[in-house]
Chains A and B, each alone.
Chain A
Amino acid sequence: MKNNVQVIMNEKFWIVEIFKKKEAFDVFGKEIKKNIKELGILNVEKVRVSNLYKIITDAGKKNIVKIARDLLVDNISEDFKVYRKFKKIKNFWIVEVFFKEGVTDSVGETAKKTIIESGILKKLEVKTGKKYYIKGNLKEKEVKEICEKLLANTLIQNYFIYPKG
């Protein structure tokens, strides 16, 4: 599927990716791995899940790091990274899921409200999504099946598959 969330011309944005620290248990990763196996796709070895906040703004990275650290992340159990483009990872398929245009993103709205109220930024948009790292000897067809049946509700969400690095 064509990547229409990441590449919108002239749109300046940052992605805040929030993931569990090693000492905290990635319960969703474990659950999704179990669910993938229940689909009959047995070659999956490991699944990790991150939350994505796509912050559409002209602001610099320093402000975004402050937003992530002070407002979005639970500093005890979570860590984060801020980027515009991510690198592919060896042995991992990467799937991103975002809402389609026009679908209400209530978590994004709440994040926007809390960022504006903090005074760090005045004008911005926030779109939330999920990122899945899937390790295993999988074919693209199988990853697509996982997305359609498990990770995305294609009525309201788009998914993007990035092959193994």
Chain B
Amino acid sequence: MAKVRVLILRVGGTNCDFETEWAFNLAGGIAERVHINQIIKKEKKLKDYQILVIPGGFSYGDDIGAGKVLANEIRLKIWEEIERFIEEKKVILGICNGFQVLVKSGILPFNTKQLVTLEWNDSGRFEDRWVYLKIEENVSPFFKDIPEIIRMPVAHAEGKFLPKNEKVLHKIEKNKQVIFRYCDKDGNLKGYPYNPNGSINNIAGICSEDGLIIGMMPHPERCVLKYYYPDFLKFGNNEIFTPSFKIFQNMIKYFT
């Protein structure tokens, strides 16, 4: 069986591409960091890959608005290829800044014009710490065999999930497109500091209607091994990987 090829999309200011590449390689894929200009110049073709990842970072320095410039660039320069990628039911993952790109280009939640945004944190600060997440019943195939409550780090200033109106929010909730929500260690939905940014309904990540396009503010690539946890000694000796690593494994497994 041919290995699953993963394209990690780079632009100026991307800074989580190495970790993401490492995580996907560790999960059994062949990951490659590709600059957007290589796709524009047709040196690399999206159709040769099964998974597209827009990693975390500060694309174009977050100028104008986080993810806004890259979202414009995707719409203006490589939209045909992205559309074909989506039509072929391939997987797109946006982490942190990548999530901002996916919502600002309208790819999430319904691949229409922009319907949700990720606003400045209510605290007005960059929130960089561990959070608890409660995995919801969702349509995505990548969150199976993962405990209901997991921990991941967040690191963002613009992560407050804000839909255009109640109707959009209701549709996302009804379609089971919410992947996980910020919560306390027992899974109760609470406000700040558990919800680091003031997200509506504590939403931390969503997926498309078919579950194959994923956007999330927390960074699974920053907690692949148990040693990344501040209290890793609590884990058993035989456990090495964290539950969030399972997301990468499930994505690779989906194509094999």
User: Which one of A27, A28, A70 has the highest number of Cβ atoms from chain B below 10 Å of its Cβ?
Assistant: A27
Count of chain A to chain B residue pairs whose CB atoms are closer than 8 Å in the complex: 62
B76, A117: Cβ atoms under 8 Å? yes
Report B115 CB to chain A, min CB distance, Å.
Answer: 7
Q: How far is the CA of A117 from the CA of B113 in the complex (A)?
A: 20
Is B69 interfacial (CB-CB < 8 Å)?
A: yes
A76, B76: Cβ atoms under 8 Å? no
Q: Are A27 and B121 also in contact (CB < 8 A) when A76-B115, A110-B64, A114-B64 are?
A: yes
Number of interface residues of A (CB under 8 A): 21
Q: Are A74 and B104 also in contact (CB < 8 A) when A107-B64, A110-B69 are?
A: yes
Q: How far is the CA of A13 from the CA of B24 in the complex (A)?
A: 49
A76, B164: Cβ atoms under 8 Å? yes
Partner of B63, one of A24, A27, A107, A117: A107
Contact residues in A for B68 (Cβ distance below 8 Å)? 71-72, 74
Report A113 CB to chain B, min CB distance, Å.
Answer: 8
Q: How far is the CA of A110 from the CA of B164 in the complex (A)?
A: 27
Q: Are A118 and B124 also in contact (CB < 8 A) when A25-B119, A76-B164 are?
A: no
A110, B117: Cβ atoms under 8 Å? no
B63, A118: Cβ atoms under 8 Å? no
Is B28 interfacial (CB-CB < 8 Å)?
A: no
Report A115 CB to chain B, min CB distance, Å.
Answer: 10
Enumerate B166-208 residues with CB–CB distance to A below 8 Å. 198
Contact residues in A for B76 (Cβ distance below 8 Å)? 117-118
Is A30 interfacial (CB-CB < 8 Å)?
A: yes
A106, B124: Cβ atoms under 8 Å? no
Enumerate A86-110 residues with CB–CB distance to B below 8 Å. 106-107, 110
Is B162 interfacial (CB-CB < 8 Å)?
A: yes
Partner of A30, one of B69, B119, B124: B124
Is A75 interfacial (CB-CB < 8 Å)?
A: yes
Q: Mark B110-133, 1 if CB is under 8 A from A, else 0.
A: 000111110111111000000000
Q: How far is the CA of A111 from the CA of B68 in the complex (A)?
A: 10
B120, A111: Cβ atoms under 8 Å? no
Contact residues in B for A110 (Cβ distance below 8 Å)? 60-61, 63-64, 69
Is A153 interfacial (CB-CB < 8 Å)?
A: no
Q: Are A25 and B69 also in contact (CB < 8 A) when A76-B115, A114-B64 are?
A: no
Which 6 A-B residue pairs are closest in the complex by CB-CB distance?
A110-B63, A76-B117, A27-B124, A107-B63, A31-B124, A27-B120
Interface CB pairs A-B, < 8 A, 15: A24-B119, A25-B122, A27-B120, A71-B72, A74-B119, A76-B114, A76-B115, A76-B117, A77-B119, A77-B162, A106-B61, A110-B64, A111-B63, A114-B73, A118-B72
Q: A27-B122, A28-B124, A76-B164 are in contact. List 18 more A-B contacts (CB 8 A).
A: A24-B162, A70-B72, A71-B68, A71-B72, A74-B104, A74-B117, A75-B114, A76-B116, A76-B117, A76-B163, A77-B117, A106-B63, A107-B61, A107-B64, A110-B61, A114-B69, A117-B77, A118-B76
